[in-house]
Amino acid sequence: MIEATALTKRYGATTAVNELTFTAQSGRVTGFLGPNGAGKSTTMRLILGLDSPDAGRVLVDGVPYRQLKDPLRTVGAMLDATWRHPGRSGRDHLRWLAATNGIPDKRVEEVLALVGLTSVGKTRVLQYSLGMQQRLGIAAAMLGDPRVLLFDEPVNGLDPEGMAWIRQLLHALAAEGRTVFVSSHLLPEMAQTAQDLVVIGRGRLIYQGTMEDFVAQTSEHGVRVRTPHADRLRAALSGQAEFTEAGGAFVVSGLDSDRIGQLAFDAGATLHELSPITGSLEQAYLDLTRDAVEFAVPSPEASR
Amino acid sequence: MNLLAVERIKLFSTRSPWWCALITLALALGFAAIFASAQSADTPVTLSATLFGGTQFGIAVVMVLAALAVTTEYRFNTIRTTFQAVPHRSPALVAKAIVLAVVALVLGELAAFGALGLGMLMRPNDGLGLHSSQDWMNVAGLGPVFAISAVLAVALGVLIRHSAGAIALLLIYYLAVEELVQLIPKIGHTIHEWMPFNVANKFLRGSAVIDGDGGGPAPSDSPLSPGWALAYFAGIAIVFLLVALGVAKKRDA
């Protein structure tokens, strides 16, 4: 479990993370969603004790990260697949990392096999494709068989096959009871992966809850109606439904399009348009985070 | 112990340390060979001339090796992964300093004894050899001086984090600054007496002023005894390392 409480991080005049409070439960895939520069990577670094918060705290399984003994055995993370020396082989990269926490070399072979890199273990990383680098990053995260896993934009730049592979892996890890915390700036990808959601914008919490609630809350339905006989339609709808009206176009909520069509017909109003508005998840997300993007300033996350 | 193994794996699983080690040895042996073959037969080649390549340029290359071992970690962000695995940070950096000190020590001994051996082979009649404790200090002392220089370079690498910056600073300081300080009127000479590499040279060369004209650097003007000179040099490296540890611990990775 990851618990952040009023977490705040400033870089100079920029507040990258602002009073952020959220939890990520064990046994669930928690999506960490926000536009680029919202503070996702900064939050990840704060969780891992790489950066120090200016205020607030974040606990991993009840303990601040820096107090963990052999932290790789509790928390595995892939913040950036490019965090490795290009001249070193994938196996050597995992070997030194394993040695830091007294993890045996045998485990290195296991995680290489887990991500399907056994055959290229001795190849220098600079010859790895993006997908292979991503797999190596996941192997590194899995070294200590950790209860908590953090992935920052794990599907960035992957082909559909790679995306599906990661999605299945994340689900499997959560099903084993682990805490899986995965960030993305793409909602559609998250919608297929995450069970819970933490949405942030400009370093602040916008939403925390289940994916289902998020979808239900944000995909409000309505029907768009255009008519040259606005008066007749207005009279017909009055008392029947809520509606807003602008320039001869109505947006009606609380009635489905069949019923509205019947009402309009009965009132003698000609309809030029009668179209249900299905709120897309992506639109809901964009609406939620629009303010967060509009005034966004380049954060350290973007410049690093 | 784990962390020493970690830094050993890191160091030897990339190519640049091997190249730097090779260059260090090539410089030490190469200069020994040049002096041995260039000097006319009636002027004997001195010990300090034989060791010239190692004492003058070997140190510089070893410092490049040590600085790169740190700055490439910053360059490729493996330092973040390291700090993620070792959240207290200092143990990892101390282990790195120790591993590089040991590697530098071994390189220094190989360079010094290798150069001496080559000199004796090429100039069998010049009386080169380990005849006095001073001779021993001159030769075997190169290892400890390499080791301390490596620690100094690790500390600067941590502080500066950029390869080019760290290397430029180290080399400019080592090759020019200590000498140029002497140009400052009145106090320049006194300052120079306490400059770290000048003091290190005191340990290496002792107070032997008479060394013939067989090449090699001018002897050190440090007032310290050779033993204290080594301690002083080591002390400076340790102070720099402690400052670097403090900074690395506080800084956002």
What's the whole-number mean pLDDT along residues A69-84?
94
Question: Considering only A256-260, B161-165, B203-207, B237-241, which range has the smallest mean pLDDT?
Answer: B203-207
Q: How far is A289 from chain B, CA to nearest CA, in Å?
A: 28
Domain A221-278, what fold? Alpha-Beta Plaits (3.30.70)
**Antiparallel, parallel or unpaired: β A222-226 and A196-201:** unpaired
CB–CB of B86/B241 below 8 Å? no
**Two structure tokens written together for A63:** 């303990």
In angstroms, rounded to a whole number, what is the distance separating the alpha carbons of residues A24 and A210?
11
Q: Which amino acid is at B227?
A: G
- Tallying the residues shown for chain A, one arrives at 304
The whole-angstrom distance between B104's CA and the closest CA on chain A is 21
Please, what's the b/e burial string for A203-226 (b: 16 or more CB within 10 A of its CB; e: otherwise)? Answer: bbbbbbeebeebeeebeeebbebb
Average confidence (pLDDT) over A275-296: 66
Which alpha helices (DSSP H) does B2-124 contain, by range? 2-12, 16-38, 47-50, 52, 59-75, 78-85, 90-122
CB pairs under 8 A between A and B: 79
C-beta atoms of B85 and A95 within 8 A: no
Cα-only R_g, chain A? 24
CB B12 within 8 A of CB B60: no
Q: Do A50 and B77 touch (CB under 8 A)?
A: no
Contacts of residue A260, defined as CB under 8 A and 6 or more positions apart, other chains included, come to: A223, A225, A237, A241, A252, A274
SS3 A182: strand
The secondary structure of residue A251, as a DSSP letter, is: E
A23 CB-near residues (< 8 Å, 6+ apart): A1, A2, A3, A4, A208
Nearest residue of chain A to residue B95 (CA atoms): A100
C-alpha to C-alpha distance for B250 and B253, rounded to whole angstroms:
9
The yes-or-no verdict on residue B210 having pLDDT over 50 is no
State the DSSP H helix or E strand holding residue A222, giving kind and residue range, or none if neither: strand A222-226
CATH number of A2-74+146-217+283-303, picked from 3.20.20.140, 3.30.1490.190, 2.30.30.40, 3.40.50.300: 3.40.50.300
Sequence-distant contacts of B177-184: CB under 8 A, at least 24 apart = none
- Which residue would you say has higher pLDDT here, B226 or A304? B226
Radius of gyration in angstroms for the set of CA atoms belonging to chain B, rounded to a whole number: 19
- Cβ proximity of A174 and A194 under 8 Å: no
SS3 A155: coil
B191 and B167 in contact (C-beta within 8 Å)? Answer: no
**pLDDT band at residue A230 using 50, 70 and 90 as cut-offs:** confident
pTM to 2 decimal places: 0.85
Residue among B9, B16, B76 minimizing CB distance to A92: B9
pLDDT of residue A304: 46
In DSSP terms, which residues pair with A243 in a beta bridge?
A252
B107-157: pLDDT as tens digits: 999 999 999 999 999 998 888 889 888 889 889 999 999 999 999 999 999
**CA pair distance B187, B173, nearest whole angstrom:** 19
Q: What is the ipTM of this complex?
A: 0.89
Please report, for chain A, the start and end positions of each structural domain, with discontinuous segments joined by +. Answer: 2-74+146-217+283-303, 221-278
Q: Does the pLDDT of residue A182 top 80, yes or no?
A: yes
Give contacts of B14 with chain A, Cβ < 8 Å.
85, 87-88
pLDDT of residue A259: 86
To test the contact with chain A by mutation, choose from B4, B13, B18 the residue with the greatest count of A C-beta atoms within 10 A, namely B13
Q: Give CA–CA dist B206/B188, Å, rounded.
A: 22
CB contact under 8 A, A51 and B253: yes
Q: How many domains does chain B have?
A: 1
User: Which tokens go with B189?
Assistant: 């000479």
DSSP β-ladder status, A196-201 and A29-33? parallel
A265 near B CB under 8 A: no
Separation between Cα atoms, residue B32 and residue B112, nearest integer Å: 10
Residues of A in contact with B85 (CB under 8 A): 71-72, 97, 100-101
Query: How many other β-carbons are positioned within 10 Å of the β-carbon of residue B98?
Result: 18
Greater model confidence, B75 or A240: B75
In angstroms, rounded to a whole number, what is the distance separating the alpha carbons of residues A131 and A120?
13
Q: Cα separation of A299 and B238, whole Å?
A: 37
Q: Which residue range forms the structural domain that includes residue B239?
A: 2-250
Measured between beta carbons, the chain A residues lying within 8 angstroms of B86 are 100
State the average pLDDT over residues A98-123: 96
